[in-house]
């Protein structure tokens, strides 16, 4: 729910704060909070010798590219649309694992990708079969971010850093958001004094809930459940994104959005379910 609600919250925040400043500064705040929590728990934060390269590479793919592109994509798309498009990630991850890890995708995973892209195709049509070209830059950005996130996921699996998951997230969020925060003053105009109390509340929500609490809850779920079972919980994220976008921002929610959501959820479910006989 925290990740799903972040889509309309972020969309609303972008009306008052430019994308790189919003994501970059919130990410740095979240990274400090996560590092502090790790220290309180006695979790070591020191990066093992020789593992800075893989850590920085994963941070750039999983955070810098993903958060930067997904946030800028919301300038062209609704919150619910962005949430649905981003959740083609499980299928892209399965596809990226083929060249990087040698894990050939099954027919189930390929079907998952087709279903997810079918949902995207429905979202970018304005009526009948005509494309809504005004949405295409946002679609391209969020899809690119999802693909790069998938590459970062399999890269990190092939090149593990050897950190506790909590410490790993703190480092990745911090290192990944740092370039966005640094680039913001040169590429954007950000007037902190012009941000309303509502805007700062959205900013703090983004730092505290999706980037801190949700990651902690996710790792707790992974510790208590098999990964495939825990991943099924992510099915609620695009649903919450679509519904909250309609309720909070007045975004359209009709047959077209419903059909896209059904295809997206079917694709996610196929992508995260392991075949009964394991991998070949």
pLDDT tens digits along 188-204 = 999 999 999 999 999 99
Q: How far apart are CA 72 and CA 82, in angstroms?
A: 10
Residue 156 in domain? yes
Is residue 182 in a domain? yes
Cα separation of 262 and 265, whole Å? 5
Residue 44 lies in a domain: yes
Task: Among 45-49, 89-93, 195-199, 203-207, name the one with the lowest average pLDDT.
Answer: 89-93
Query: 131 in a domain, yes or no?
Result: yes
Q: What angle do CA 27, 28, 29 make, to 5 degrees?
A: 90
pLDDT of 152 strictly over 90: no
Share the mean pLDDT of the chain: 86
Domain assignment of residue 280, yes or no: no
pLDDT of 215? 84
Q: State the pLDDT at residue 278.
A: 41
Instruction: Report how many domains make up the chain.
Output: 1
What is the Cα–Cα distance from 38 to 199, expressed in whole angstroms? 28
% of the chain residues with pLDDT over 90:
51
The band of 276, judged by pLDDT with boundaries at 50, 70 and 90, is very low
Least confident of 7-21, 23-37, 70-84, 265-279: 265-279
Question: For residue 207, what pLDDT is reported?
Answer: 95
pLDDT, average across residues 258-276: 76
Question: pLDDT class for 224, splitting at 50, 70, 90?
Answer: confident
Q: Answer whether residue 99 shows pLDDT above 70.
A: yes
- Band (pLDDT 50/70/90 cuts) for residue 175 is very high
CA atoms within 13 A on the CB side of 168: 19
The strand pairing partners of 131, in sequence order, are: 125
Per the domain annotation, does 76 fall within a domain? yes
Please give the average per-residue pLDDT across 206-214, as a whole number.
Answer: 93
Can you give the pLDDT at residue 279? 40
**Which of 87-96, 142-151, 153-162 has the lowest average pLDDT?**
87-96
pLDDT at 174: 96
Closest C-alpha to 77, from 257, 258, 267? 257
Question: Residue 194 falls within a domain, yes or no?
Answer: yes
Instruction: Classify residue 277: in a domain, yes or no.
Output: no
What values do phi and psi take at 36, rounded to 5?
-65, -40
Separation of alpha carbons 169 and 175, rounded Å: 10
pLDDT reported for residue 203:
97
Give percent of the chain with pLDDT exceeding 70: 92
Instruction: pLDDT band for 280, please (50, 70, 90 cuts).
Output: very low
Range of the domain at 117: 2-272
- Pick the residue with more confidence: 144 or 92? 144
pTM of the model: 0.84
């Amino acid at each position: 729910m925290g990740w799903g609600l972040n889509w309309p919250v972020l969309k609303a925040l972008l009306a008052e704060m430019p994308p790189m400043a919003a994501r970059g500064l919130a990410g740095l705040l979240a990274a400090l909070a996560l590092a502090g929590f790790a220290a309180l728990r006695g979790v070591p934060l020191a990066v093992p010798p020789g593992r800075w390269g893989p850590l920085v590479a994963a941070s750039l793919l999983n955070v810098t590219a993903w958060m930067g592109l997904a946030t800028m994509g919301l300038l062209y798309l609704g919150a619910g649309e962005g949430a649905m498009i981003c959740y083609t990630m499980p299928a892209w991850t399965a596809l990226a694992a083929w060249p990087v890890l040698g894990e050939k995708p099954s027919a189930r995973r390929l079907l998952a990708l087709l279903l997810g892209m079918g949902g995207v195709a429905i979202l970018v049509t304005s009526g009948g079969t005509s494309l809504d070209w005004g949405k295409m830059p946002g679609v391209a950005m969020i899809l690119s971010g999802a693909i790069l996130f998938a590459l970062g996921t399999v890269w990190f699996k092939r090149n593990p850093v050897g950190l506790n998951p909590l410490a790993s997230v703190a480092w990745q969020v911090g290192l990944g958001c740092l370039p966005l925060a640094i680039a913001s003053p040169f590429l954007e105009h950000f007037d902190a004094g012009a941000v309303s109390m509502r805007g700062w509340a959205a900013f703090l929500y983004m730092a505290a809930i999706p980037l801190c609490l949700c990651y902690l809850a996710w790792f707790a779920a992974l510790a208590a459940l098999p990964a495939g079972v825990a991943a099924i919980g992510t099915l609620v994220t695009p649903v919450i994104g679509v519904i909250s976008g309609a309720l909070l921002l007045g975004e359209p929610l009709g047959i077209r959005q419903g059909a896209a959501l059904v295809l997206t959820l079917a694709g996610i479910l196929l992508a995260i379910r392991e075949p009964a006989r394991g991998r070949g």
